[in-house]
A and B are shown apart, each in its own frame.
Chain A
Amino acid sequence: MRYAMAMDTAKCVGCSDCVVACQTENNVPIGFCRDWIVENVEGTYPQLEMEIRSERCNHCENTPCVRTCPTGASHVIEGGIVKVTHNECIGCGACIEACPYDARYFHPDGYVDKCTFCDHRVAEGLDTACVSVCPTYSLTFGDLDDPQSPISILLRERKWKTLVPEAGTKPQVYFLI
């Protein structure tokens, strides 16, 4: 089992529905978010090119955040999902410093919070909240170990990139281009 997400930059319109769905599903405190939209505009006007990405924790295979955690609160569960146990977290901030994607933040209650790939929904066989609401079907969640899963097929057929592969983290959120 290796959960991963594919994000189609050609389909995304940047509506932020995934952001709101996550905040609602996971009770994310106001002013914070576990996923977010990046609009990257390149070029000189009028020759512009825009890429819109829905970003979140990359649930890396090589996890600098878990490595640096002094208490073991940050850990990897079945399927490669990176999670934080709230009452083991001391709020030292080491994992926030360690993440090249700035995907973690301090919950106002003190512990570190982040995207969980909606593991509570995935356990019931559902898609993550962000995937389930995307109006343009630009998000795909699935198991990379299953060669017939929609995400495996997408990654075989389309060109893709990951964010900062040179950080050595082996990120598991793939951006289709």
Chain B
Amino acid sequence: MKEELFVSGRNIPNIDPVLHVWHWHIPLYLFLGGLAAGLIFFATYFYISGKTDKYPTAVKIAPVIAPFAIAIGLVALILDLKHTLYFWRLFTAFRLESPMSWGAWTLGVIMPLSMVWPLIYIKDMIKYFESSSKRTTAVLKWIDGLLNDVNILKWVMDLARKYQMAIAWALFLLSIILGVYTGILLSAFNARPLWNTSILGPLFLVSGLSTGAAAVMWMSRHHFEMKAFSRFDLMLVGIEVFLIIHMFMGFNASTQAQQQAVALFWGGEFTAVFWGIFFTAGLVVPAILEIMELFGYKVPAFIPAFLILLGGLIFRFIIVDAGQITRYLY
């Protein structure tokens, strides 16, 4: 039995012949959101558990990346909108059933809080950058001056210091919501079989935490902390591999639409990039390097860290692009 399908009278851009509504903006944002979630998660977790001195880079320095990552992600998100000037409509409604609405509001709250957190530690940051970058140090000193001189900023920072534990708890919970949200955004789409699996939530959360751990590992200058985060990252990569195996098991045992969707990774057009670049270069190789580190070999931290970050970015591009190709069969 041979089947042919002709569709006449329709050739709509971005929909025919395959859906391609979301371009580079969404995967980039999902990556940056996950990275920010990971950085904030570790910073607040170790602050809350009173281990600031043990993991100083994670708590005081690395979170400075988070507001920048979120800001770039937000710009990408807004650029992705086709009715750009109406973006504020996101904040005139809260829709319980829409993951995107949840995401918009989460970002709206986490963005200012994630700016306050690194400002609390601005003096530590000046010390961190003093030896490496004169320009960054100058900018940080200028900001520090502003925080002391402008009354309202001083008032905000005093308030933030006073209620730092409350801010830490809020950021901790929000970072988990943000990390899960990057996956839930996709898994809520029943119409795209590849996305329609609830494991995408935990998978994106773990992947985001792993990229966060990699960034801390890269930035840290303390041997103990670097080793610890190498170990955290190794553990997260292990969980990620476990979740990926479960995702494929679920797909292979599911309906024909999902079996056909996952065929993209078993001999289809995403096989090479998924297994070659993401799985091997972005998960297995850094994991091996981290295991070598564990056994006392000297591995420069930036190599596994860079691979993990690259893998995380490519993973999101693969899932967003491949998911849009998949569809129900009729």
Contacts and interface: CB of A to CB of B under 8 A. Distances in A.
Interface of A: 14, 16, 19, 31-33, 36-44, 64, 67-73, 87-94, 96-100, 102, 105-106, 109-112, 163-164, 166-168
A136 to B, nearest CB: 16
A78 to B, nearest CB: 20
Contacts of A73: 89
Contact of B15 (A64, A67, A96): A96
Contacts of B7: 36-39
A166 B327 CA distance: 12
Given A36-B7, A72-B95, A87 B86 contact: yes
A110 B86 CA distance: 10
Contacts of B11: 31
A164 B327 CA distance: 11
B191 A100 contact: yes
B95 A106 contact: no
A94 B195 CA distance: 13
A57 to B, nearest CB: 13
A24 to B, nearest CB: 14
Interface string B79-109: 0111110110110110101111100100000
Interface of B: 1-16, 19, 21-22, 80-84, 86-87, 89-90, 92-93, 95, 97-101, 104, 188-192, 255, 257, 324, 327-328, 330
Given A16-B9, A41-B4, A71-B90, A93 B189 contact: no
B2 A44 contact: yes
| Interface secondary structure of B, over-half rule | loop
A67 B86 contact: no
A99 to B, nearest CB: 6
A92 B6 contact: no
A72 B93 contact: yes
Given A92-B82, A96-B15, 9 more contacts: A36-B9, A37-B9, A72-B93, A92-B81, A93-B21, A96-B19, A102-B15, A102-B16, A110-B86
A110 B159 CA distance: 43
Given A87-B86, A93-B82, A167-B328, A98 B189 contact: yes
Contact of B5 (A32, A38, A98, A102): A38
A46 to B, nearest CB: 12
A67 B82 contact: no
A76 to B, nearest CB: 13
Q: Which of B22, B82, B189 has the most CB of A within 10 A?
A: B82
A96 B95 CA distance: 18
A68 B10 contact: no
B100 A68 contact: yes
A36 B12 CA distance: 11
Contacts of A100: 190-191, 327-328
B23 to A, nearest CB: 10
A19 B9 CA distance: 8
B185 to A, nearest CB: 8
B191 A97 contact: yes
